Structures are given as C-alpha cells and as structure tokens.
Amino acid sequence: MKRTFGCVLFASLLLCGQETSLRKLEAEMARVAAVGGGVVGAVAIHVETGRMAQLRPAERFPMASTFKIPIAVKLLEMVDRGEESLDRMVTVETRDLHPGSGTLSQLFVQPGVALSVRNLLELMLLISDNSATDILLRAVGGPRAVTAKMRELGLDGIRVNRPTAGLIADYWRLTDLPHEMAWTPEMWKARYAGTTAGGRDEAAARFQRDERDTATPLDMARLLVKIQKREVKGAELLLDILRRCQPGEARLKGLLPEGTAVAHKTGSMGVTITNDVGIIALPGGAGHVAVAVYVKASDQPERARERAIAEIARVARDFFLFQ
C-alpha cells in the first residue's frame, strides 16, 4: 500500500512539474512573439509524448498558403483510394494562370502545357505556386471537400472556402471579375491597377476579420501531428516534399541549428499576415515537435514577423529537447 501511494505521489509531482515547465514555455513564447507585432497565435506539440504549449490556440487566423497542406492531405487520400493518380497529366490552360507566388504564370505564357498531378503537388508545396494549387483544389472536389476531410479528421478548426484566386481577389478588393473562363494574367494585372491604396487597405482589414479560409493554431498543429504519425494517407510523400519547401528560411528554420530537418509550409498575405507551420526533428532520438505559428494584423515589417516565428520555433525546440 505504501509503495502504491509513493508511486502515485511521485507521478503527481512529476506531472505537476511538467505542467509548470510548460506554462513557463508558454510565457516565453508570448514574450518572444511580441516582436512580431499584431496578433500572434502558436501551438507546439511534442509528437511522441503529446505535451503541448500554446498561445491563442483556439483563435482563428487566415491560413494563406498553409491551407495547401489540407489540400495535399485530401489529394493523397484520393490517390490511395485509386480515385486520382499522381501520374495523370493535366493540361494547364490560360484561365488556370492565377496571380501570387510561384512560377507557372511566368513560365507558361501560352496554353497547351501538361503537367502531372505529382508535378502540380510539388509546385504547390515546394514553391507555393497558386496556379498549381487551384488546379489541384478543383481536382479534389473544391473547398468543401477539403473542409469535409478536415472534419472527418476531427479538425473543425480548419476551414477551406475559396481557391487562391478568390483569396487574392478579396484581399486586394479586385471586383467585377469576368467569368473564370475569361481569366488571363493580363486581366489580373489590369484589375489590380484599377484599385486604390485606400480600397486595398480597407479590404485587407476586412479580410483579417473574415472567418473563411482560417485555422486555429491548435488544429493545424494537430494535423501536423497526424501527418508525422502517419495517420493520414500518403504521409511519407507529403513529408518528403515539405522537407524540401523552399520559401521561409527566416521563419521556423531561422534560428534553428544548421542541418535541422524541418518539414514545413509557409503562408503570407499582403504586409500584415505571415505564417509558418511544420515539424521539427529533434536530435538524438528525442522525437519531433509540430509547430504552427500565425501572425495577423501586424504593423511590423516582414523581418520582425519572421523573427517572432523563428524565436517561437527555437524556444519550443530547445524546451522539448532538454525537458
């Protein structure tokens, strides 16, 4: 009886100590987040133990391009079921060339180019190509299908409502768009040229209050945990691509030791929204940390927002390595 009581007491004290340490980590995350300005939300989960630190975990943040991970999860499920093939060739039409990050619109001016689903997946995740993203979003059944998949996974905090073309149009207040079949790169440039700075600022402020295409840091981090634990189909391929993600060297990776493996996806909109979500591998078999950091409504320059993300990633990485 005494031994049982002693074991229970020791376990309780150990748990209490861990909780106290996690609260200290959360306080440090809040402290370093301040450099980013605006509103910062972050969740860090040690994948192997489930221990978690959080900052505004349930608040909604615009996902920007981090929504490309949920699209990839839905796509790879369809591949696993035989409903889609990574080898299927897709013709890229002029109407598919959407504004934003990436290179498809720059490289393929003329229609008639065909790329495989695998090519499009890599373009979407490696260089955040928006044209490839919208082609794949259409292939998986649209935003509702992706949101439904997130709900199936128990991640109600992740909501996909619009393609990237719609996100950009709403963020920059690009109105009077013609039918999608008439979209061209020149059309997008002309619509942007017709906006005013005041109109764009008003639209950007409204965009950040919109609950469409948002995620809570908690559920995005939980999605990353499911990917790392291979609880979604195609996780190996997805992780391989995310480890090679090119943008965002100053974000999650910014202050980590050289050579640290990070499977991640960045997201940005305008001059106020900066995100990065990913999985950090710890050395010495210490496991992995899933980290989701979102910054919105910031009045600081991008380097400050990226610094906040890098600082949060570093303190979370060091805590779970040494604790």
Token pair belonging to 266: 């960045």
Q: Is 212 exposed, middle or buried (0-12, 13-18, 19+ CB in 10 A)?
A: middle
pLDDT attached to residue 109 = 59
pLDDT tens readout for residues 301-311 = 999 999 999 99
| SS3 call for 279 | strand
pLDDT attached to residue 171 = 87
pLDDT tens readout for residues 228-240 = 999 999 999 999 9
pLDDT attached to residue 271 = 86
pLDDT attached to residue 107 = 62
pLDDT tens readout for residues 84-141 = 999 999 998 878 887 765 566 666 656 668 899 999 999 999 999 998 999 999 999 9
Token pair belonging to 55: 């900052």
Token pair belonging to 59: 């608040």
Q: What is the rounded CA–CA span in Å between residue 115 and residue 106?
A: 15
- Give the pTM: 0.91
pLDDT attached to residue 187 = 81
Do 296 and 62 form a contact (C-beta atoms < 8 A)? yes
pLDDT tens readout for residues 16-49 = 567 889 999 999 999 999 999 999 999 999 999 9
pLDDT attached to residue 103 = 64
Residue 113 has a CB neighbour count (10 Å cut-off) of 14
Do 133 and 213 form a contact (C-beta atoms < 8 A)? no
Res. 7 pLDDT band, cuts 50 70 90 = very low
Q: What is the rounded CA–CA span in Å between residue 28 and residue 311?
A: 10
Q: Which domains does the chain have, with CATH numbers?
A: 26-62+214-322 (3.40.710.10), 68-207 (3.40.710.10)
What is the rounded average pLDDT for all residues in the chain?
A: 90
Look at residues 286, 319, 208, 302 and name the one whose alpha carbon lies nearest to residue 254: 302
Q: What is the rounded CA–CA span in Å between residue 134 and residue 78?
A: 17
Least confident among 149-158, 171-180, 280-289: 171-180
pLDDT attached to residue 106 = 62
pLDDT attached to residue 111 = 62
Do 98 and 130 form a contact (C-beta atoms < 8 A)? yes
Query: Nearest 5°: phi and psi at 103?
Result: -130, -10
Which residue stretches of 163-269 are H helix? 164-171, 185-193, 197-207, 217-228, 235-243
Look at residues 25, 8, 120 and name the one whose alpha carbon lies nearest to residue 72: 120
pLDDT tens readout for residues 252-297 = 999 999 999 999 999 999 889 999 999 999 999 999 999 999 999 9
